[in-house]
Structure 1
């Protein structure tokens, strides 16, 4: 089987080795709280395109809102091609994850000219079947990604028990995160979207395990100054960028937040410098 190079698509994502990917694919999670700020997706995409991140992450059903816009300088499309039910506050009797198109999982991404696809690798307490389904999903798409030159972003997620905080929140344990990131690397990830370690100073271990570009997952909305400080610390540890959603789209001034994060990723700004950039926005 001939492999098509994925270099051209990766170049659309990474400028100077960095990438800010704004995730607004939360509708596939079937969680009402995730949709606050995403009610009018046409307006959301307008605001994000104007803000100018490197990429916007969408599922197939909303990707046209980005790709129908004219011009070659708009953000690249990262497409979510799986879905599951681990994010709800109440634990489900059966946990599951599956590809949105089982027969041809990449067809929508190819149709929409995505620069990358993303698939989850859930590690939830006492849910081995969910983990197996994620491994099966990744195994299913890996060969197609090689065939069509489509970069594969794997999202390894180590989560706390649902009864600790609800909605299976990030664990943050460096040992668990590094181990699952290593598994994603072993499965052939081209990009890894990883949880931040509880102590950002440990994140270099994630970078070492990945052996490919690493973008940090944002998770829930937090105090913005704390987000910027943590983001700068993670970049200093070797991260290539961020995949942030609620910390951008649920903010009153997404463009200013994007400007601050882009300065951290592409210009090496400190958390304090990024905070000043945000306030000027």
Structure 2
């Protein structure tokens, strides 16, 4: 991610349906074209923080719209503690209302802190909360093969799956993604696996083919 502009160019060249970006990179680097949607991410944190999974809003919806955003994105982490969870839920509800008022779709990236041996139920619970609070699209971690169909069936909004860690085999990841798409999941929302690939254009094209049933 040293050169964000080249990553965005690769996503566009590979046929991504949309690119998620913070406002600064969106303003400086997003190619001026309409073949790839611009989704401006409103949440941020820093790796300098000991609780970097807890995000705060760093961009106003109106500012993202001024950049030409087609949709907005926000991050919510649950399971961090009572006060943290209450703050996250309140902010998500407020943001969803803002998006409704402005007439722009909202993607909510859901994360959960849990020590459970099987994190799948917590992943489903968090995704369901995001949809109930107004998300138009919900991004969730892969909950495990035994929970994917339930995730797609019970969350009342389209669900896209995160790419997860980038250190596992690419072909195995693609096969898992194909299986997930077959259960009714709406798509994929992949970052590190794409921009960390040797050929990010090809990686994006592979993912597009899986989502659109072409590969």
Give 1:202's aligned residue: 147
Give 1:114's aligned residue: 69
The 1:41–1:129 alpha-carbon spacing in structure 2 relative to 1, beyond 3 Å, is same
Aligned partners of 2:153 and 2:184 also within 8 Å: no
Of residues 99, 103, 122, the one that matches 2:57 is: 99
Give 1:83's aligned residue: 44
Aligned partners of 1:158 and 1:172 also within 8 Å: no
Of residues 42, 46, 54, the one that matches 2:5 is: 42
Of residues 220, 225, 243, the one that matches 2:171 is: 225
SS of corresponding position for 1:231: helix
Structure 2 unaligned residues grouped into runs of 5+: none
Of residues 9, 12, 16, the one that matches 1:53 is: 16
Cα distance in structure 2, aligned partners of 1:251 and 1:43: 13
Aligned partners of 2:54 and 2:77 also within 8 Å: no
Q: Does 1:132 align with 2:86?
A: yes
SS of corresponding position for 1:203: helix
Pairing 1:127-276 to 2, within 5 Å after superposition: 127-160=81-114, 173-198=119-144, 200-221=145-166, 222-267=168-213, 269=215
Cα distance in structure 1, aligned partners of 2:117 and 2:171: 22
The 1:238–1:186 alpha-carbon spacing in structure 2 relative to 1, beyond 3 Å, is same
The 1:95–1:113 alpha-carbon spacing in structure 2 relative to 1, beyond 3 Å, is closer
Aligned partners of 1:97 and 1:133 also within 8 Å: no
The 1:189–1:264 alpha-carbon spacing in structure 2 relative to 1, beyond 3 Å, is same
Cα distance in structure 2, aligned partners of 1:41 and 1:171: 36
Cα distance in structure 1, aligned partners of 2:87 and 2:45: 10
TM-score normalized by structure 1? 0.69
Cα distance in structure 1, aligned partners of 2:108 and 2:190: 15
Give the C-alpha shift of residue 78 in structure 1: 1.0
Aligned partners of 1:56 and 1:76 also within 8 Å: yes
Q: Which has the higher contact order (CA 8 A, sep 6+)?
A: 1
Aligned partners of 1:217 and 1:242 also within 8 Å: yes
**CA offsets 1:149-199 (integer angstroms, 9 cap, x no match):** 1111122212346xxxxxxxx98622111111221121111110011112x
Give the C-alpha shift of residue 128 in structure 1: 2.4
Cα distance in structure 2, aligned partners of 1:245 and 1:97: 18
Aligned partners of 2:55 and 2:76 also within 8 Å: no
Instruction: Name the larger-Rg structure.
Output: 1
Give the C-alpha shift of residue 147 in structure 1: 1.1
Give the C-alpha shift of residue 205 in structure 1: 1.0
Structure 1 unaligned residues grouped into runs of 5+: 1-37, 162-169, 270-281
TM-score normalized by structure 2? 0.89
**CA offsets 1:41-61 (integer angstroms, 9 cap, x no match):** 222222222222111110001
Give the C-alpha shift of residue 262 in structure 1: 1.2
The 1:107–1:223 alpha-carbon spacing in structure 2 relative to 1, beyond 3 Å, is same
